[in-house]
Amino acid sequence: MINLGPHAVFIICAYAGVTLAVAALIFWTLFDARRTASKMAALEARGIRRRSAGPAA
Amino acid sequence: MTTDTAPKPSFWNRLAHPGQFVALTRPLLWPLTIITAALFIAGLWFAFFNSPEDYQMGDTVRIMYIHVPTAWLSQFVYGIMAVSAIGSLVWRHPMADVSMKAAAPLGATFTALALFTGSLWGRPTWGTFWEWDGRMTSTLVLLLIYLGIVALWRAFDDQLRAARVIAVFTLVGAINIPIIKFSVDWWSTLHQPSSVFTMSGPHMPPSILTPLLVMAIAFTMLFLTLHLKAMHTEVARRRLMALQRQAAQTGKTA
């Protein structure tokens, strides 16, 4: 690792904070997508489908 | 008129259909993810291993490689929301509503990160984490506007009605973007004036400009990837809500 000089703590904190926030953003985006898809699958499993999709099998 | 003679819908009309929008843009997600990851690897390598320290700021210049891209995105995302708001109000484009809603939490996060990294950069260079000057205060106002928009989306059950109200609110709030941009020219401020997007070109050496531009493009691609994924989820959520209403009307328990 390179020497970040006397203000290394500020540089490390800035990059760590951005890494955590970006990771949280990615996690939340994927979690929200998966949660919505599983709710949709649960509804369709109970035979509830869009009218345009025709009657449930 | 038979289906054979019916006019083919234009590209924009196809994009207006949520199902077709998702079908058309879903194949873009993996290429966007790979390009974003590659750009971040290159950008971080430049930032830490192939760029010099600044002659005045020393190594703290490396904070600029995450501060400027997040600050740029804080305004760019709002620009996307403002254009979407016009699309929602003028053309009633259904995907414009979806775009507005999906972008708001992303913009709020990037704005918070711009303030966070800016204060960590400010302490060693200016001697303070915070100063109530034009650039910092107007960026804080932008964060509050973003949070207000996120709260408004959650306050309405009827998302179509919410979109009209929020589109107007978003366009009113857009007045803050030129204030942020020109605050360093209009008022005496600790914040340095623009050094990348100037009439006379960038005011920095290529060894510092290169990692900055690579990181700015990487963050922009990250936003585009997450925005697209969040838009797909929002389309699915609206379908889910429609199904739940349909289930309630037909008496089936969801």
3-class SS string, B16-84: HCHHHHHHHHHHHHHHHHHHHHHHHHHHHHHHHHCCCCECCCEHHHHHHHHHHHHHHHHHHHHHHHHHH
State whether A25 and B236 contact (CB < 8 Å). no
Which tens digits make up the pLDDT trace of B218-243? 999 999 999 999 999 999 999 998 88
Q: φ, ψ for residue A22 (rounded to 5)?
A: -65, -40
Which of B59, B117, B246 has its CB closest to that of A48?
B246
Task: Give yes or no for residue B252 having a pLDDT over 60.
Answer: no
Mean pLDDT across B31-39? 98
pLDDT at B254: 45
Percent of chain B with pLDDT over 70: 95
Residue of B50 and B151 predicted with greater confidence: B151
Q: How confident is the model at residue A56 (pLDDT cuts 50, 70, 90)?
A: very low
User: How many Cβ atoms are within 10 Å of A8's Cβ, its own excluded?
Assistant: 15
Which tens digits make up the pLDDT trace of B85-124? 999 999 888 899 999 999 999 999 999 999 999 999 999 9
pLDDT at B11: 74
Which of A15, A25, A51 has its CB closest to that of B66?
A15
pLDDT at B1: 47
Which tens digits make up the pLDDT trace of A6-51? 889 999 999 999 999 999 999 999 999 999 999 999 888 888 776 6
State whether A49 and B243 contact (CB < 8 Å). yes
Task: Give yes or no for residue B134 having a pLDDT over 60.
Answer: yes
CA distance B187 to B237: 45
Task: Give yes or no for residue B14 having a pLDDT over 80.
Answer: no
ipTM of the complex: 0.88
State whether A43 and B247 contact (CB < 8 Å). yes
Which of A26, A36, A51 has its CB closest to that of B240?
A36
pLDDT at B183: 87
State the smallest CA–CA distance between residue A29 and chain B in angstroms. Answer: 6
| Domain boundaries of chain B, sorted by first residue | 61-250
State whether B63 and A25 contact (CB < 8 Å). no
pLDDT at B47: 93
Work out the mean pLDDT of chain B and round it to a whole number: 90
* Best residue in A34, A48, A52 for a mutation probing chain B (most B CBs within 10 Å): A48
Contact between B163 and B89 under an 8 Å Cβ cutoff? The reply is no
pLDDT at B96: 94
Task: Give yes or no for residue B50 having a pLDDT over 90.
Answer: no
